[in-house]
């Protein structure tokens, strides 16, 4: 059985603060892919990042960075120097083969 947990329901930060969004994906599958999507108030989901289960290298892209630790099943996403436009719901979305899952989402509010 697969289980996706985004324990943080809502987060508020002040602009320019760093914020980390947590995701835990429990599965017996050895091959899977992990995605983060952002859904701003307009409603359209936007793809942010993708990692596969074999690659535990942490990466940075602009203000985004992510940390994947297979041993703890965690796939965390960090926004540095947050901006008001980062306010959105963020979904962790693991997939295996033709199975698609979305976590329950974390609502991020960046206060100016």
Partner 1 sequence: DTEVTQTPKHLVMGMTNKKSLKCEQHMGHRAMYWYKQKAKKPPELMFVYSYEKLSINESVPSRFSPECPNSSLLNLHLHALQPEDSALYLCASSQLGLGYNEQFFGPGTRLTVL
Which of 52, 58, 69, 83 forms a contact with partner 1 (CB under 8 A)?
52
Nearer to partner 1, 86 or 91 (CB): 91
Q: Between the CA of residue 70 and those of 63, 64, 90, what are the distances in Å?
A: 23, 20, 21
Residue 63: CB atoms within 10 A of its CB come to: 13
Which residue in this structure is represented by tokens 């307009």?
Answer: 42
The pair phi, psi for residue 72, each rounded to 5°, is: -110, 5
Nearer to partner 1, 65 or 95 (CB): 95
Residue 64 in contact with partner 1, rule: CB under 8 A: no
Contact residues for partner 1, defined by CB under 8 A = 32-33, 35, 37, 42-47, 50, 52, 91, 95-100, 102-105
């Amino acid at each position: 059985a697969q289980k996706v947990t985004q324990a943080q329901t809502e987060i508020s930060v002040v602009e320019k603060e760093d914020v980390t969004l947590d995701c835990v994906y429990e599965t017996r599958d050895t091959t899977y892919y992990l995605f983060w999507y952002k859904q701003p108030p307009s409603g359209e989901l936007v793809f942010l990042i993708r990692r596969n289960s074999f690659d535990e290298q942490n990466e940075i892209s602009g203000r985004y960075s992510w940390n994947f630790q297979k041993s703890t099943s965690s796939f965390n996403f960090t926004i540095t120097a947050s901006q008001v436009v980062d306010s959105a719901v963020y979904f962790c979305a693991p997939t295996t083969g033709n199975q698609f899952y979305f976590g329950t989402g974390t609502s991020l509010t960046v206060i100016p």
